[in-house]
Structure 1
Amino acid sequence: MDFKYSDVLDSGTYRDDGLANGIPFRIHKDPYSEIAGSLRAQKDWNSTVSPVYDYQGGLGEPYSFIRATIPECIPERLEIISYANEYAFLYDDEMENLDLKNFKEGRDDMLHVFRDDALNEKVHGTVRPEKKLQAQILAEMMAIDRARAITTMKAWAQFVELASRTRSQPFETLDEYLPSRAIDAGELFWYGMLTFAMALTIPANELDLCMKLARPGYAAISLTNDLYSWRKEREDADKAGQDYVFNAVWVVMQERKCTESTAIKICQEEIKRHLSEFEENIESPNTKTLSRDAQAYLHAVRLSHVGNLVWSIYCPRYHRGAYVPTTLQRKADELIPFSDKRLALPTQFGNVASRFFDTIFKFFISPFHQVFHTSGRRLLIQRLRGLVTKS
């Protein structure tokens, strides 16, 4: 994989808690486009959908989410990728107010934002404001890369449709939990993000093998998110009066009748095990026969793991006091000028409600209980192949 847009950081300058498996941490050279995209999404949501109060998304210091997880994003695509991800976070915040456990067909118009005309970048004035922003995202992406924008938006729409129906009961074992969390959802969504951001095209005849090879990488990403979001998710579940948590730590505690500290150690070992398997897959003879783009995709998933890991350790979502320095704040003000201070970047005194990666996995991934196992995985792969061939 060629590196054009990112720098590798000295391993002594950041924490990885021993869970990077030797994978180097790279970060995109451009900090400003991500800030511009994120703040523009917040501004548009604030003026179009609803006020944004005490909100923090993927931005943070020293590492922001997109720059860390897609370090080789093509520069011209970095802002819209950041905008789309921030929109997904804001959309999920609103979705969390819905009663997803008692889903009824057609119950809430929010669920139709990504349905039916998800590929229509021109909408009439009476549609929901969230739909207008979704159409705007599609139009901006299509202006850059029509084919990959269609693939990405179809994948996004499929996520919303499936995830909205499956928040029900917890898993009883880690073996049951991981396939739904890491494969049935994360694989498909991140496939769309990575392929658009890096202008990759996976040939349809390589898709099954590519997804199979990437599977342990997504398992490691999911477990890492669960590990660092555990305490926040546990607190949220307690406040909501919920007797279970959609998190691998909780699943392990129930399955093995062990303490929290033991469950955390087990999750750490599982991360290492899946990463080792993923590394073997990347170096396997089968991988060497894949196209250049397919191999680049696998390496991009590898970089996404360590980026997610380091971001999770430092992000405002999990740590008070994380902030964006004033130099970046000033540059952001130049890029996206507005006066509403509710849309400020994370500061030393700001609320720590940044939940971007938690959003991607909690809304798009963790709800996939019980329904989508072997047959579900086959169905999603078939649909993804259709996206590739039709676009």
Structure 2
Amino acid sequence: MVLEYRFSSVVSPSRYDSQGLMGDIPLRQSNFADAETVGEIRAQEDWNVLVAPLSEKFHGGLDPNLSFVSVSIPECRPERLEIISYANEFAFIYDDATENIAHDRAEADMAQTLDLFMQGATTGYVDPRGSGKNKIQAQIFNEMAAIDRPRAMVCMQAWAEFLQLTSSRDRKVRFDTLDEYIPYRVWDVGQMLMYGLVTFGMGLTIPEEDKGRATEATVSAFGVIALTNDLFSWERERDAAKRDGMPHVMNAIYVLMGQHNVSEEEAKQMCHEKIVELVQEYKAIVEKYKNDTSSCIDLRKYIEALQCNISGNLIWSLTCPRYNPGTKLNACQTWMRSRVRAHNFKPNKTYPAALPPSPPSSVSN
């Protein structure tokens, strides 16, 4: 292992059924998961007040058992977990909000969001004036910058790159094969956004010249994440497309049904098999980089850390309210929501002192 696992613990396999979709990759959970709950509830409440009321059914990354960020980035430094959870929840809310507005308005809104993230990436400042959404973006950057300004700027740059390509893509395009579809979904699922959140959260410094390697080496990991999301969100997306009169569904199950002229269940099985294949492919990449001492140590850590993203995203997808209507928050989360609403409350948890940032490096010692 390249990573030292200091802030998380392995979750017993008796607590979940992976359905064979993550090989022998362990599931880990942050030892400070309460911070995620607070960050996500804060983001929801800020959106409620500053932008528009959310549906009571919206839960984003929260799950009554294992919430998204705590299992996807379990080695996030404790003092950074709340703000990256806040940021990720904003991404969930924003994604849902732009799906439900007219295309032209969505493009204009995304352009404004992109401009503000670029402002943070290039100037180290985000102007909080303007819309409620602008204020939330400024809140994200300011909290990150107060902890680690250089990596906050890297995160804003990565988020801006994600939005820039996403905004230029034709959402009406139809894919004939899974091989054509996967590269589109790898970016669309948030490869660059996750790069920003992981490097900030874990305090990693990947030199600019290695950024392309980080993107290339993790394609199969994000392929797993994208196909996992498609597998578990299929019914929701299929029904939404039918309701909105869309000619097709942007989902791997739909692509496979058309490519092979098969039923939904057969397409799901094909998707399952492709996920298993990509998991094994990524595990081989992780092993390769573990032994590649010529590579930047933080690049190697990032590549290993994304195994947690694979297992965490899968187990979260199996039970989360986002993909499983009717699932409710647990009693502790409901209590925290009431406390955040009333007092902007943070849990009484003693975190380790802020750790020094990893020094920029290009070669491991």
CA contact (8 A) 2:9 2:28 kept: yes
Structure 2 CA distance for partners of 1:37 and 1:253, relative to 1, 3 Å? same
Deviation sequence 1:17-73 (CA, Å, 0-9, x none): 111111000111122111111111111111111122322211111111111111111
The alignment status of 1:238 with 2:242, answered yes or no, reads yes
CA contact (8 A) 1:113 1:128 kept: no
CA contact (8 A) 2:83 2:143 kept: yes
Report the AA paired with residue 315 of structure 2.
V
Counterpart mapping for 1:178-257 below 5 A: 178-183=182-187, 186-257=190-261
Shift of 1:332: 5.0
CA distance in 1, matches of 2:79, 2:87: 14
CA distance in 1, matches of 2:343, 2:326: 23
CA contact (8 A) 1:152 1:192 kept: yes
CA distance in 2, matches of 1:122, 1:158: 16
CA contact (8 A) 1:281 1:287 kept: no
Structure 2 CA distance for partners of 1:285 and 1:86, relative to 1, 3 Å? closer
CA contact (8 A) 1:65 1:311 kept: yes
Q: Which residue of 2 aligns with 1:379?
A: none
Shift of 1:122: 4.7
Report the AA paired with residue 237 of structure 2.
E
Shift of 1:185: 5.8
CA distance in 2, matches of 1:124, 1:79: 20
Q: Which residue of 2 aligns with 1:323?
A: 328
Specify the SS of the correspondent of 1:7. Answer: strand
Shift of 1:99: 2.8
CA contact (8 A) 1:182 1:215 kept: yes
Q: Which residue of 2 aligns with 1:356?
A: none
Shift of 1:245: 0.6
Normalized against structure 2, the TM-score is what?
0.86
Q: Which residue of 2 aligns with 1:78?
A: 81
Shift of 1:148: 1.0
Shift of 1:285: 6.2
Specify the SS of the correspondent of 2:257. Answer: helix
Structure 2 CA distance for partners of 1:157 and 1:211, relative to 1, 3 Å? closer
Q: Which residue of 1 aligns with 2:62?
A: 59
Q: Which residue of 1 aligns with 2:24?
A: 22
Aligned length: 337
Structure 2 CA distance for partners of 1:43 and 1:204, relative to 1, 3 Å? same
Structure 2 CA distance for partners of 1:130 and 1:124, relative to 1, 3 Å? closer
Normalized against structure 1, the TM-score is what?
0.80
Shift of 1:108: 2.9
Shift of 1:260: 1.1
Unmatched tracts of structure 1, length 5 or more: 341-387
Counterpart mapping for 1:97-112 below 5 A: 97-100=100-103, 103=104, 108-109=108-109, 111-112=111-112
User: Which residue, out of 282, 288, 296, partners 1:291?
Assistant: 296
Q: Which residue of 1 aligns with 2:11?
A: 9
CA distance in 1, matches of 2:42, 2:99: 22
Structure 2 CA distance for partners of 1:285 and 1:35, relative to 1, 3 Å? closer
Unmatched tracts of structure 2, length 5 or more: 345-360
Specify the SS of the correspondent of 2:29. Answer: strand
CA contact (8 A) 2:67 2:316 kept: yes
CA distance in 1, matches of 2:179, 2:16: 32
Q: Which has the higher relative contact order, 1 or 2, with Cα contacts under 8 A spaced 6 or more apart? A: 1
Q: Which residue of 2 aligns with 1:47?
A: 49
Structure 2 CA distance for partners of 1:107 and 1:330, relative to 1, 3 Å? closer
Shift of 1:196: 0.6
* Identity, % of aligned positions: 37
Structure 2 CA distance for partners of 1:124 and 1:192, relative to 1, 3 Å? closer
Specify the SS of the correspondent of 2:329. Answer: coil
CA distance in 2, matches of 1:140, 1:157: 18
Q: Which residue of 1 aligns with 2:354?
A: none
CA contact (8 A) 1:315 1:322 kept: yes
Shift of 1:205: 3.5
Specify the SS of the correspondent of 1:228. Answer: helix
